[in-house]
Each structure stands twice: as C-alpha cells, then as structure tokens.
Structure 1
C-alpha cells in the first residue's frame, strides 16, 4: 500500500501503548511503517532537544515515504521554524511525500506555505488518530485505557476513509452538515471560488502573526479549531486576527471543533455560540461552523495551501478541490 514514516517533531510521546497500537494498525492496513530512531525520545516536554527534532524532520523529508506522519502534537515546532530545512522538505513534497499532522503541526504547515508555497495536510497524528483502543484489543489493555479516560472504540471510520483517500490520491473534497440555525444566515450557494485553503489550530496560528512564517493569504478560506480554550480566549484570538485585517481579507471563515473547555456561572450566558454571533456581526464574509476537524476522533483531512471551492446547498457545506494525484 503506502510507505509511512513516523516521526516526533513536537511533544514527547507519553502514551507509548497508543504509539505501538497506531503502528500496528497502519501495518494491519497493509502499509509499510518506518519509525524514526528518535520518535520516542524525551527531553523536558519535547521529543528530544531542538537539534534532535530538526534531524528527525530532515530524515522524514529524506525518507522517500508516501506519508510523513507526526506521532502527536503538543508544543515545540515554533522554536524550530528558523532552522527548518525548507528546501529539502519542498523537494520531498515534489517527489510525492505528503506531510500530515495537526495541532502544533500548524506551525510547520503555515511556515512551509509562507516559505515555499507547498501543500501539506491537516489530519490525524499517529497516537490520537490510529492509537485508540478498539473492540479487538486485549481486554487488560482496554481496562487501562478506560481508567485513563479513553472511551473511543478504535480509530474513527471517517478519519480512516479520508486517510485512505489521501493514500490513493482520490480525494475530491469534504462535506458536513451545518447547524439547524444556519438557514437564517443566507448561506445558500457559492461562498468561495478558487480560494487557497489554510489555517489550523487557532492559538498556534495567532502566535505566528507578524513573523515571516505567517502566510500572506488573501481571498482564502481560513479554517480554525482549538482545544482547552474558553470562549473568551477564542474571542481574544479571533479579535487579533480581526484587528490585524486577516479575517476581512478572506472569502470565508470555517470554524471546526472547539473542545475541552468549561463554562461557569460567571459567564452568565456567554458561550462559543455568542462568540460566533459576535464575529459574524464584525464581518461581511460568511462564517461557517461545524467542520469535522480538530481535537476530535471524527476528523477530515484538509490540504493546506490548495485552492478550493466552498459551496452550501441547503444545510450541506462542501469544500471541493478535485482529484489530487500522487506526484
């Protein structure tokens, strides 16, 4: 099937059982899995010191793999951006390697786009995407997972199907159902044409504003997600993008999943929905919600930097990019 190279450019792998399950699952799907020699290294909170992780990225680019897949997110890539081997990574993409990841990997993807214009894929990481326990796993392991709060029954089928599309070069786009209240927003029809798709984790993206690693995208479709951020923090980051002029320069904003936060009585009705309402009131472009992407099991794969069309038919939203063939 495919040659998949696993490497760790960000945080240290803490769940080694999930790492092993992820490798085993990819192999069971018929893929050849190559694990970077420093994939399980640990230094402070990182998967090795900066030099170690830079070397791992270089080996991933030199591997000749069909897919270079991160082991996990966490934090660590922003400190590597000045020293990334951009030319080597770009050449590997030209030869057919697809770089896949999300969360902290947003820094890599946006810097790559800004420096080279090359396309990468927002999608699963090894541990969270392919490592969840399934019904066929050993019962004793399932008990340990349940004790740690892992309730997912194996990898998500939609994510697996999207990953398979990428492997076979047959992905044409993705779609999702908008919330019921979207009908009153007048979103029916074409929302964006020939628009560069870009974005990722909101906090990571905002951290690159004003740096050489922030792509200067106009007339694009910007997708955003985050985890563990209260709605007021999400609004604060969106405000920075709004006040800097980034949002108004796009054709559309698409919001994915914002998860793992808690509201309190102090919020008095303030919620993520209120943030979205506020944002729509500040922009003349459409703001869509519900994209199945983020720190959630059901995750589509999105080509960062590729031109797309965004359509809405009734409550169905469609991001279309046509056939993408292997190089």
Structure 2
C-alpha cells in the first residue's frame, strides 16, 4: 500500500490509556503510513482532551492538515459543547479535497452537524485507541475496510440481517414459468446514509445540528444503554417525526448493558418488535457497526443503494456496475 498521511487528534474525551495510544500509532506507522499527531492530542482538562478552545482548535487543525485521514483518538464526550463554534464550510471543503474524517461514538455529533450545516460527508468508522491500540491485532474486517478507504477502493459493504427482519413476499414469475417464484428482494436507490450513536443523535433533536434527512437510510448503534433507554431514545426520534421520514432504519450493535430480573423478559428484541409496530418503513438489524471490534466503515451523508435479498443486505456507495462485495460481507 502506498503510504498515507493520517492525522490524529482528540476532539472529545481525554486519552486515558497512553499505552494504547502509543501502540496504535506504532501499528499504523508499521503499516507504512505517515502518522501526524496533533499538538493537543494528549492534553487533559477534567474529562476532556483539553478545554473547549483547545479541542475546537484541534478540529480546525485536522481540517487544515492536508492529510488523507483525520482519525479521532477516542470518543467519550465533548463535541456537542463546541458545535456552535466549528467552521463547517472549512471542514466540508477539506472533505471535498479528499480528507476523510473518521470516527464514531461522540464523533457522531460532528458528523451530523457537518452534514446539516454544510452538506459535508464523513466516515463512521474506527477510533485510534479502541480499534488500533489493543494488545491483539486489529479486527481483520475493520482493518480491511480501513485499508479500502485509504486506497479509495471501498464501494460498499454487506452483512446477514436478523432472522426476524422483514422480507417481502416472493414475486411470481410471468409466462411459462408462472408457478415459479423470484427470491424475495427489497431495494432502494439514491438514499442518503446517515446516523451513528443513538444517544448522541437523539440528544441533537430540535437543534440546527441534526440534519433533516428525508427518504434516507438511518443507521444506529449504542453501548452501555439498557434496552428501555434505547426504546426511550427511539421514542424521541419517533415522536419528533425523524423515523417516519426515512426509507429504512438499520440497527447496528447495541452492547455493554445488563438486564435484570425486574425486566421480566424485556430485551432488545422487545424494543425492535415495538419499533416495527410503530413504523411503516422496514427495520433491519445486525449491521456490523458500533462499539465492537468488527465494524465496517460507512459514508455519512453519501447517496447509497441498499439491496436485501435472501437475508443478505448490501449497501453500495461506489460504482454500482463494479464489484459490490466489500470486506464487510463476511462480518456476520
């Protein structure tokens, strides 16, 4: 792989695991990349990576870096504090020139604000410490998707949807083979892909930083949130009219919670079934994205095509006539 310029910065939480940070930088450099570390990447102020002014300046330095990838060190919390001060046209122009902003979790706030305020695209994907800084090698699928992004080769991704996910009835063939049936399939074209962390996104409802996407594909994930809290946040999006305006809702990984006896069998499956009862648009599950090692990279704000056939879901954002199967095909 040709060496790429990766800029590391900390727009949200402070880096607590310095060993993971160092391992991740060494790992990326070992892959041949030129890794540039922002001057404030390891600063600390309360729970933040520096005060608001420091982190705001880091965001703008990342945009001006001329790098191929601007990768957050970690998520945590902090970006919503500075959304009203970010120069979104500057970030959007950097993205148009080829800079890919990459991250997830708290980074959802910047991604959605960039889309809402300047129509800028970014990538939902790994963070430095959590995905490249472990003692074990990075997840193969995540690494392959990241490499595809670096090379400009990623055109889409795929996964196997849940057993209870909706599928349309088979279509009967015409003519002599009228008794045969075409395999069930579902597809949409030219839909804006958007979403990210559910807690961050739902907290942006009613602000000018949540994009008003209509006819889109909304993907969601979360961590350390009990199913009833997941349902409560989905209810917020439902009552705000956000969910009904989409062509599909795609649920990623919801991890890190524990149910208790008091739940009486109230589980994530209960939440998903309730959500489907409230919506006319399909709700698909098992997207390999979230606070998990195996994650695909997703272009936030891009026009995509989605196809579901025989329980295999495919998202295309590249050349539709070319090879569609990204590394994420093997994720689940």
**Structure 1-normalised TM-score?**
0.91
Q: Which residue pairs with 1:88 in the alignment?
A: 90
Matching residue of 2:115: 113
Q: Which residue of 1 aligns with 2:191?
A: 195
Q: Give the whole-Å Cα distance in 2 for the aligned partners of 1:214 and 1:121.
A: 16
The 4+ residue runs of structure 1 with deviation greater than 4 A are 183-187
On the 8 A contact 1:170/1:323 being kept in 2, the answer is no
Q: Does residue 167 of the first structure (1) align with residue 169 of the second (2)?
A: no
Aligned to 1:45: 47
SS at match of 2:274: helix
Is the 1:171–1:322 contact (alpha carbons within 8 Å) kept by the matching residues of 2?
Answer: yes
* Counterpart Cα distance in 2 of 1:214 and 1:296: 25
Distance 1:323 1:302 in 2: 15
Q: Are 1:157 and 2:140 an aligned pair?
A: yes
Mapped partners of 2:162, 2:122: distance in 1:
29
Contact 1:117–1:305 (8 Å) recurs in 2: yes
> Partner residue of 2:266?
270
Q: Is the 8 A contact 1:191 1:286 kept in 2?
A: no
Other structure's SS at 1:239 match: helix
Residue in 2 aligned with 1:125?
127
Q: For structure 1, list consecutive stretches of 5 or more residues without a partner in the other structure.
A: 135-153
Partner of 2:12: 10
- Whether the 8 Å CA contact 2:15–2:74 is kept in 1: the answer is yes
Deviations 1:74-127 (A, max 9, x none): 000001100002122122112111000000000000000001101100000000
Alignment of 1:9-88 (within 5 A): 9-88=11-90
Moved more, 24-33 or 82-91: 82-91
Tell whether the 8 Å contact from 2:223 to 2:291 is kept in structure 1 after alignment. yes
Q: Distance in 2 between matches of 1:296 and 1:255?
A: 14
Kindly tell me: are residues 170 and 323 of structure 1, through their superposed partners in 2, closer, same or farther at Cα, counting changes over 3 Å?
A: farther
| Residue in 2 that maps onto 1:248 | 244
- Structure 2 distance, partners of 1:269, 1:309, is 36
**Is 1:321 paired with 2:317?**
yes
Q: 1:52-72: per-residue Cα shift (whole Å, max 9, x none)? A: 001111110111000000000
Distance 1:47 1:28, change over 3 A: same
Within the candidate set 100, 103, 111, 1:101 is matched to 103
| SS across alignment from 1:108 | helix
Q: Secondary structure at the match of 1:100?
A: strand
The whole-number CA distance in structure 2 between the counterparts of 1:182 and 1:106 is: 26
Q: Distance in 2 between matches of 1:193 and 1:184?
A: 17
CA distance in 1 between counterparts of 2:274 and 2:36 reads: 47
Against the structure 1 CA distance between its residues 204 and 183, is the aligned structure 2 distance closer, same or farther, given a 3 Å change threshold? closer
Offset of residue 194 of structure 1: 0.8
Structure 2: give runs of 5+ residues left out of the alignment: 171-183, 321-332
Map of 2:201 onto structure 1: 205
2:231 to 231, 235, 254: 235
1:216 aligns with 2:212: yes
Please point out which of 138, 159, 166 is paired with 1:176.
159
1:225 to 216, 221, 230: 221
Number of aligned residue pairs: 305
Q: CA deviation at 1:183?
A: 6.5
